[in-house]
Each structure stands twice: as C-alpha cells, then as structure tokens.
Structure 1
C-alpha cells in the first residue's frame, strides 16, 4: 500500500454522512491533545495532511482519507481535553457512539495514547469501544521522543496493563515528531486491514 497516495475525501458531521462502500476502514482515536493528526501526517509523510491545530480539539467530525484507493484512514473526533462547549462535546459523543454501533464499519482500530502517562479513564473507555467491535486493535504510544531511557523501559507493558489488553494487542512505541515506530505501525495496519 502506497500511503503517500493519500487524499482527503470528506468530513462527516452526522451519521448519514458516514462512508460504507466496502473498503477497509482504519479508525484512529485518541485524546484531543495526544497528537492524533500528527500521527496520521507522519504515516503518510505529509506535514499538514490531517489538520493540526495549536488548540486541541480541531477534529470535530469523522474525517475520511483515502489511502492508495485501497483503504480509508478515519480520523475520529478527539476526546477529553478540548475546550469546547458541553453541547459540542455531546454532539461528538453521539457521533462516535453511532460510528461504533455498526461493528462491521471498522476493520482495524488505532488508539493513540500518551507514552508519558498512564492511560486515562477516557482512554480506557475508548479501548472498550474498540474491543466491543470485535475487530483488531493497535495501540500507539505517541511522544516516546519525550521520554528518557528510564521512562521508555516498561512503557508498553504499563499501557497494556492500564488498558487491560491481552498479549495479542500490539503496543507500538511511536514518535510523530521523529518517525519512530512508523514502519512497524504501517506493517500492522496493512496486515490487519488486508490493504
């Protein structure tokens, strides 16, 4: 799969706008300030492909990116930190809930967490949503470039335990800044989504 052959397709503000055309969907989720868009940008090797904002919470819709005409990278709204109104947070929650209700929609889930911290309650909730689909899940521990050698040691296991994951779920140490883990993540996505 040539991930550099990538294009934005649409931004779904409501469930009626979701894409269901049979192509595999790789859904990316994470806290509003975890660097989700930066991870996607690193994967496709483009600086501003998925919109990165100075203020967390820029992804307010379900954004679809077509990769090599073979699969979608689906950028889900961030959760947790975003400074938006309660009404807007509730709209996001409903949009996400509806997206996850159709278990056939997701071929592979990618949950991005902060490598520097224990998983939050919201991270655990999102992991539960992904697990509920019955589809494979990948954990991306982003921002490993900000950890020293001591912090890196046991980082993956700490996240695995915090999210209550089995050994079959890969935890990939990643740096959107430096590119660490990019090839490992792409390989896992291609194997799981058959794209």
Structure 2
C-alpha cells in the first residue's frame, strides 16, 4: 500500500439494515478490509471524509446532529473500504429513530468480519461521558483495533491544545495508539492520520 495520500474514492452503497451490507472485493476477488468511522452525532465524521479526499459533497455535512441515518460504504484506492456510521448520543433524535440506529451500528461492529480498523472521532471541545468510555472499553474488551481522532482542533486555543488532549486521554480508557488531532476547517492533521492508517495496514499485511 502506497504511503502517498489517498487518491480515489467511490461511493458503493448505503445500508439501513444488516442484509444490505455490501460485499466489496478487490480486483482479485478478495474481500477488502474496512475502516469504520465512529463517533457522537455532529463530531465531524462526514467532514473528515470530505476533507481527507478533497471532495466537498462526498459525505453530506449536516448542521443538524443525528441526520445521518444510514451506514455508507466507500471504496478507497481499490484497497480499502471506509464505512461512515450514524452518530450516537444525540438526545433530540426521536427515540424510535435511535432505537433503529442502535441495532444497526451494533450489528456492524459486532459481526462484520471485514472490519479491520475503527477511527473513533471525539470532539476536542467536549468532555468524555460514560457513554464514550463504555464504547472505548468495548473496543478494548472485544479486541477491535481502533485509533483515537480528536476533531475540531481549530476550535481550541493553540496554547491549550496539549493540555486539552491530555485531559481527554485521561477521561477515556487506554488506547493502543497516540491520538491524532485534526481539523477539517484548515486540514491540519490530515496527512499524519492517513499515513498512520496506511502504516497500520502495511504492518498487517507483512
């Protein structure tokens, strides 16, 4: 896998239930590994996809948290699949809608054999909640490989970034990798994050 930035991305499909999850294969017919993007509503999942691939409307960015209701699958450079999951933890979303999303997200994270890496996005302006901690504990307990990605670093004063990063780390269970600090507004942190993702898969394949 090249160490250059990602170059090609293709939307494959959206899924409202487990039966609609696609089987996305390489040119040689092998199922491609998947990178799931997970985080609270309005954390910046869609923005991350858009700015990583320099595509303004690749993943729709909504000002209304909780609007993304489907799991969206994107094929990347014919080597990986990025999977954009609905955000969790937004109280204003109707209960019946959240009741649908919960099992949808869980069925993907629990059962998807192609899931190879989780990007867990966390808004740097927020403090970790019990829900956030439980999710990271679940990653660890079930040995789901994950990287912490702290979003919206441009909203934090530069002199306070390191302190804020450490405060969040202390509020979350242990992670196997140092967190990435990113901003979709000014694209800071993008190259390092992509390099880490590619390095991870290079190591898995060696």
TM-score by length of 2: 0.86
Q: Which runs of 4+ in 1 moved over 3 A?
A: none
**Coordinate RMSD, CA, aligned:** 1.9
Q: Name 1:142's counterpart in structure 2.
A: 151
Structure 1: distance between partners of 2:156 and 2:138: 28
Among 164, 169, 176, the alignment partner of 2:184 is 176
Q: Name 2:8's counterpart in structure 1.
A: 5
The 1:100/1:27 distance shift into structure 2, 3 A limit, reads same
How far apart are 1:155 and its partner, in Å?
Answer: 2.5
Q: Structure 1: which 5+ runs fail to align?
A: none
**Which of structures 1 and 2 has the bigger CA Rg?**
2
Paired residue total: 194
The 1:63/1:105 distance shift into structure 2, 3 A limit, reads same
Q: Name 1:46's counterpart in structure 2.
A: 55
SS at match of 2:115: coil
CA contact (8 A) 2:75 2:82 kept: yes
Among 73, 84, 90, the alignment partner of 1:75 is 84
SS at match of 2:57: coil
TM-score by length of 1: 0.91
Q: Name 1:117's counterpart in structure 2.
A: 126
Matched, 1:151 2:160: yes
Structure 1: distance between partners of 2:134 and 2:72: 21
Q: Structure 2: which 5+ runs fail to align?
A: 25-30
Matched, 1:33 2:42: yes
CA contact (8 A) 1:15 1:95 kept: yes
Among 102, 105, 111, the alignment partner of 2:114 is 105
SS at match of 1:153: helix
